[in-house]
Amino acid sequence: MAAEDMTVGDTRTAAQLVAELPDSPAVWCSGLRKRYRRRTAVDGVSFAVGRGEVVGLLGPNGAGKTSVIKMLLGLVHPDAGEVMVLGRPGSDPMSRARVGYLPELFRYQPWLTATEVLALHARLARVRMTDGDSHDRLAAVGLEGRAGDRVGGFSKGMQQRLGLAVALVGRPELVVLDEPTSALDPIGRVDVRDLVLSLKEQGVAVLLNSHLIGEVERVCDRVVILDAGRVAAAGTLEELLGRREVRMHLTGVDGRAEARLRAAGEVSASRDRYTVVLPADDDGATVPALVADLVALGVGVHAVEPARISLEERLLGILRAGHPGEGHR
């Protein structure tokens, strides 16, 4: 009896321990390498996407982004490296049970209707999908009026929208979108942005490969920049974009005011335009305090403009640093 109690107790403790364990990342990869004949496409790529995190994969054409995505999904076999998807090894097909994927090269069975394509993917993902679910998925991507039409008659943009609906089949915990807006019009791009934000709200992890840096900057928590098959930089937007600045248009700046400006951070000036680099640990109080002090010192404050270098500038800077002899890219 006592031994039985102990076993029950042990089991409970083990269950508690497992329950208290932090969730494994949605995606984790380490040292991924891939060669296509003589060309090295991916060379030691490692990164992770946390649960519920939106990570952007950026880089120039041929940087290895799509190859990395395909290796994560078991479509391309890495020459070296490890992949874990939702806590399972990437080589196990069940690791993809809760994964939605929109490929860069999207194409669906032209002889099926949009509803039938969704039903096919629901069966492959082993999830039950009612007519209502199917309608909701198609409505979410603006295809509710074309549910019964054959995919063969769809435009490229409509096929990409269908691909987004397919990626959402089976309540995924990870959605991988490879260039999801390549065939979409501006409205479609906004729809994709809203879709990613809604997935983020629902706690779904998203790995987004896009050339639209502005979109990535708006929706992503973190960014991984690939160049020539390697991770050139990775981090949160704050880490990557680094220093924040404030640009000011000031008149009547005397020695005391200049000293106050220098006390706030590194100053560069051109006539009456001043740029102050804010400290990394700025909690948002530096600029109002600076402006108040400058006004108190009798300085005319005409304009105050907080500024941060854009992700595009940062990306170009990183890529140029990696190819010093090649000029602009």
Partner 1 sequence: MTVLTIARLTVREAARRRVLWALAVLTLALLTLSGWGFSRLTGLDTEFGDLTSGQARLIASQLLNLVMFGLSLIAALGTAFLAGPTVAGEVESGMALSVLARPVRRSAVLLGKWLGLVTVGCGYVVVAGLAQFLVVRWAVGYWPPDPAAGLALLAAQTIALLTLGLLLSSVISPMASGVVAVGLFGATWVAGIVGNVGQVLGNEGVERVGTVSRALLPTDGLWRGAMHAFQDPSALATMGAEGAGFPFLSEAPLAVAYLLWAVFWVAMVWGLTALVLSRRDV
In the complex, the residues that contact partner 1 under the rule CB under 8 A are: 70, 73-77, 93-97, 99, 101-103, 105-109, 111-112, 120-121, 123-126, 163, 166
Closest approach of Cβ 106 to partner 1, in Å?
A: 6
Residue ranges of alpha helices (H) inside 148-206 are 156-167, 186-201
Closest approach of Cβ 107 to partner 1, in Å?
A: 4
Let me know the angle formed at the C-alpha of 183 by 182 and 184, rounded to the nearest 5 degrees: 100
Closest approach of Cβ 124 to partner 1, in Å?
A: 4
Closest approach of Cβ 117 to partner 1, in Å?
A: 9
Burial of 165 (0-12, 13-18, 19+ CB in 10 A): buried
The DSSP annotation for 139-158 comes to HHTT-GGGTTSBGGG--HHH
The DSSP annotation for 258-315 comes to HHHHHHHS-EEEETTEEEEEPPTT--S-HHHHHHHHHHHTT-EEEEEEEEE--HHHHH
Closest approach of Cβ 94 to partner 1, in Å?
A: 5
> Which residue lies nearer to partner 1 by CB, 64 or 163?
163
Closest approach of Cβ 54 to partner 1, in Å?
A: 19
> Which residue lies nearer to partner 1 by CB, 167 or 213?
167
> Which residue lies nearer to partner 1 by CB, 77 or 262?
77
Structure tokens at 9: 């107790």
The DSSP annotation for 60-125 comes to -TTSSHHHHHHHHTTSS--SEEEEEETTEETTSGGGGTTEEEE-SS----TTSBHHHHHHHHHHHT
DSSP single-letter state for residue 221: S
**CB environment 242-277: b (16+ within 10 A), e (fewer):** eebbbebebeebeeebbebbeebbeeeeeeeebbbb
Closest approach of Cβ 77 to partner 1, in Å?
A: 6
Q: Treating both helix axes as pointing N-terminal to C-terminal, what angle do 156-167 and 131-140 enclose, rounded to 10 degrees?
A: 130
> Which residue lies nearer to partner 1 by CB, 175 or 257?
175
> Which residue lies nearer to partner 1 by CB, 77 or 329?
77
Tokens 């069975």 correspond to: 109
Closest approach of Cβ 150 to partner 1, in Å?
A: 8
Beta carbons of 115 and 169 less than 8 angstroms apart:
no
Closest approach of Cβ 45 to partner 1, in Å?
A: 16
User: In the sheet where 39-49 sits, what is the strand order?
Assistant: 39-49, 27-36, 80-85, 88-89
> Which residue lies nearer to partner 1 by CB, 127 or 241?
127
> Which residue lies nearer to partner 1 by CB, 123 or 171?
123
